[in-house]
Amino acid sequence: MFTPSPMLLKLLYTRGSLHNLPDNGGVAFSLKNRLDTVRLTRIDHVQVDGRTLGPESITLDLGDGDVRPATELSTEDGGVEFEVGRSITVRLHTEALPEGMHPVSLQFSADPFGELTVEVEDAIVQQDSRVRIPRQDGDDYSEAAIQARQRFAADFSGQQFEHLHKYSFDPHMLQGNCEHFTGVAQIPIGLAGPLRVNGEHAQGDFLIPMATTEGTLVASYNRGMQLLNLCGGVKCTVIGDAMQRAPVFVFDDARGARDFGRWVEETMTPIRAEAESTSRVAKLQYIDTYLANKFAYLRFNFSTGDAAGQNMVGRATFAACSWILENYRGAPIRHFYLESNFATDKKASQINVMRTRGKRVVAEAVIKRDILQQRMRVTPEQLAYHGQVSNVGAFLSGANNNGAHSANGITAVFIATGQDVANVAESSAGVIYSEVTPEKDLYLSMTIPSLIVATHGGGTGLATQNECLRMMNCVGRGTVNKFAEIVAGVVLAGELSLASAISSSDWVSSHEQYGRNR
């Protein structure tokens, strides 16, 4: 557990939630636990505009029909569990507030922290009369709630939908994955392979499910996989593993930021303990400190098990930063932001190419000269020279990849297996290298420095997505590196196939034959 600072306690309050209840029913606002699971044991009072309301004037709506007076909270019965992600509506039995800004203060007790205070300002605004998508507070994944949204979509758009509504799983499994669930997008899945992977974690032949609407994509990757198989398969190695969150601390001047950075380096042991107290899985490896102007950027680097881990490391970093805010005794910290844009979440960046985000994986193979010429109608010299020319083009354009199209294979596999598809922005970065061996064969390798994948959590447990992971035997504890090696092998197959097609001038004709849908 960690000690939440006053700066972080403000985040319990949901900004914009202050409102007058209908029929002079009082005033309400919302709390959402964005810190750590606790037990609420007492509500002392709420102050609004300096007016103090005791527990006898406060009611808590805990959701799912559980509404109780604040006077019922007590330490004796253990209080009420307030989990991370849960929201509670606080109702105040008082007269309505006028429009405008109002200071709000809530004093309460929570186990194991003791007495805590949240102090914020919020506004009463004119009621919003815009059309809203239907939802049900009790069970928004019920058949009634879904059908209400389906009718709403048809009425609002003036269109009828036949295929959007059809799905074969219990919508309740989507809680935490999709809000306002209305239907599904049916994306075709084609199979490529089997691909022979000679990894440290993935060993054997794997069928590759690829979800795509791009003609020739599956065929192209399948062609590359067959060529790799004829040459003994693809060798894949995970060489790095780190997931980041990068907060920033703001000081009055550069010296304050510099001294703070030194203190962080000297205080790693308790910082690590606070971060790791939030998870059984997340392990803080190290913190990189970057200084600019009067800002100290801390790049926390974690290992996250089989999960991609962005939310996990966010929570762990939040805990560590709360402890830092409470215990740093140097120059005053003027502002703090949990994410400074320096982790470059879902954005391509040079720092992730250099320092790793997610898994850093290398896929490599030696392509036999005779097989390459017979199957692809190109020589090793042609592909190696083509690679040199392409390097210049990638350099001039400032691309994050000197290969051909790693995003194609990564995206198709990501959609099929329930990965966070926006992570393709980072995962598509790649460094490809080729050379002609002394035996006149082609050595080809691809380094993917920021491959963000998971075999647990997120969308990996959903119906078809989990089936696709099971197709590759990538479900269960300790399978994420296996999956990363498979994805890297897929990428190399696609690079080999497309580079050969461009070099042999088969690219356009293949698209005309297999990819036209006009």
Q: Name the maximum alpha-carbon separation found in the chain.
A: 87
Helix 480-503 and helix 217-230: axis angle, to 10°?
Answer: 100
Closest CA relative to residue 341, chosen from 409, 418, 246: 246
Residue keyed to tokens 């099971």: 470
Catalytic residue among 119, 214, 259, 276: 214
Phi, psi of 363 (to 5 degrees): -115, 135
Closest CA relative to residue 403, chosen from 511, 509, 493: 493
| CA pair distance 301, 360, nearest whole angstrom | 14
Phi, psi of 276 (to 5 degrees): -80, -10
What is the separation, in whole angstroms, between the first and last Cα of the chain?
59
Please say whether the beta carbons of 426 and 352 come within 8 A.
Answer: yes
214 is catalytic: yes
Peptide bond into 380 cis (omega under 30): no
Q: In what order do the strands lie in the sheet with 67-69?
A: 19-20, 27-32, 87-92, 58-61, 67-69
C-alpha distances (whole Å) from 380 to each of 126, 392, 444, 499 are 70, 19, 10, 11
Kindly state the tokens that stand for 100.
Answer: 């405008």
Q: At a CB cut-off of 8 Å and minimum separation 6, what does 293 contact?
A: 254, 257
Catalytic residue among 420, 426, 485, 495: 420
Please say whether the beta carbons of 308 and 453 come within 8 A.
Answer: yes
Q: Which DSSP category does 127 fall into?
A: P
Please say whether the beta carbons of 118 and 110 come within 8 A.
Answer: no
Catalytic residue among 45, 93, 165, 511: 511
Q: At 458, which helix (H) or strand (E)?
A: none
56 is catalytic: no
Give catalytic residue positions.
214, 420, 511
